[in-house]
Chains A and B, each alone.
Chain A
């Protein structure tokens, strides 16, 4: 992972003009001043990161990230490969702690409580995650969705069955799989597998759902289905999505954060980010001049 980040750094270094520009427009390194300058009071903060640094060994992947994820809204992170957006996402449910020799500094508050002081398994249950490549377990469709409930609760058979159906319906997959619940999840198509993973994550009723480039391996039709799903889910769930696809961010997100070289350059309403970004780097990226 950090090798990728390194090579990204090298690439940036190789372009002196951009480097200079970054220096001149960023006197206060790491502080997302763009985000601070505009008030965004529409919703309560579900998650808030405060001065978050993250290290893979000696390599610093995240620099002083401070931002808020608003409740029942969709927040997107965009930025070039290796900019730290996935790393930041994986810090929000403490998934990064599984990486050897990694270290985190700073706080992340979930409903005002510091997640680094909560039980890590509770944090991950409350902040669900769907990965870039769908990763259904080698079990039946039913058992995949039931898994989180089995390990976290002691629901009876019928309650479990209802919960599985409810989750599959929420993930818009029920109609497609209701007749083959007990077949292997590997028989599903790529898009269906990804929606199954979403259903699996929804089954434990997470307050926040983190989506790490959920559509990067999917065709446009499957992508459209996932995006529809995001619209439906945001009434009941706070969603954070990392995406390489700027159109996708523009379509689904209420707020967008632009990451570059481990720093949150700008965070604002999605319209602002794509129409009138405050920072030159953001504008260059969203207009396709670089990245």
Chain B
């Protein structure tokens, strides 16, 4: 009896400390990464980083203004491609789903979500770069846009589904057709969630490197328009981090810091919107 009790207490203590240690390791790793990046990144970060072009090897200073703008352009294009398709697909699955076809779509979407990002890069390479015979901002945007689709579909579907049936019925009881009820009541009710979904989706693809390496490639200069190769932050980090020069490493740290800060900021804002509005309005 007492032995049992003692044994139980020991097992409890051991398990408790095990879970505690594992939590510490997990959280500690994150804190370490953030801290390390912060220290190294902030050290080499200055105003030039945001305003100047990269300088040739051997010169000091310079920045990654072109990569920041390039990343923004690629992400903008990705949003323009991925979000409307994903959103419409989500509306279809949430509001007109329940058929075998929609089950297939859902399954394929999940498969697409599991496709390695480098495969997405090859896809964009094949349909755009290989045809045009040159890298471009557009190809990078398409690669990331296609990556955004499955998540956009599933997150839109989820947030639309969370809108109570009673709101749809309320609108339809007033003479609204199903599609009118969706556009005027259901989508507005899910708005906060839908926007948050887009932001989290963007934050996720913002750091993708592999699909960009052979689509938007890289560029040491400005890349006006959509038709030329462009620098982007994740690719820049990769290139500079594996380079042999110490000044490059410093720049890579700074770029990593900027990218992480942006992604973190987007994440936090998105989650704040969600927390404030609740999952849906009701």
Contact = CB atoms under 8 A, between A and B. Distances in A.
Interface stretch (A5-13, A120-128, A253-261, A268-276): A120-128
Given A135-B164, A137-B167, A138-B189, A100 B175 contact: no
Contact of B189 (A128, A129, A133, A137): A137
A201 B175 contact: no
A131 B170 contact: yes
Contact of B171 (A133, A147, A186): A147
A63 interface: no
Nearest to B281: A138
B282 A186 contact: yes
B281 A121 contact: no
Contact of A122 (B167, B172, B175, B280): B175
Interface string A97-140: 01010000000000000000000011011001101010111110
A98 B172 CA distance: 10
Chain A interface, >50% SS class? helix
Interface string B164-207: 10111111111111001000110011000000000000000000
B98 interface: yes
Contact of B170 (A93, A100, A121, A197): A197
Nearest to B189: A138
Contacts of B180: 151
Nearest to A151: B176
B181 to A, nearest CB: 9
Interface in A240-277: none
Given A100-B98, A151-B180, A186-B281, A137 B173 contact: no
A204 B175 contact: yes
A128 B184 CA distance: 18
Interface in A180-223: 186, 197, 200-201, 204
Given A131-B166, A151-B184, A95 B173 contact: yes
A93 B173 contact: yes
A152 B170 contact: no
B169 A95 contact: yes
A148 interface: yes
The size class of the interface chain B forms with chain A is: 20 to 34
Contacts of A125: 174-175
Contacts of B282: 138, 186
Contacts of A151: 171, 174-176, 180, 184
B167 A124 contact: no
Contacts of A122: 175
A124 B174 CA distance: 6
Given A131-B166, A131-B170, A197-B170, A139 B175 contact: no
A279 to B, nearest CB: 33
Contact of A121 (B169, B175, B184, B280): B175
A36 to B, nearest CB: 31
A100 B164 CA distance: 17
Contacts of A197: 170
A236 B169 CA distance: 24
A287 B267 CA distance: 62
Nearest to B278: A138
A137 B168 CA distance: 9
Interface-central residue, B98, B164, B172, by most chain A CB under 10 Å: B172
Nearest to B98: A100
Nearest to A200: B174
A133 B280 CA distance: 18
Contacts of B172: 95, 98, 121, 124
A53 to B, nearest CB: 23
A131 B171 CA distance: 12
Given A151-B184, A186-B281, A135 B166 contact: yes
15 contacts: A98-B169, A100-B98, A124-B173, A124-B174, A131-B169, A133-B166, A135-B167, A138-B189, A138-B280, A138-B281, A138-B282, A147-B184, A186-B282, A200-B170, A201-B173
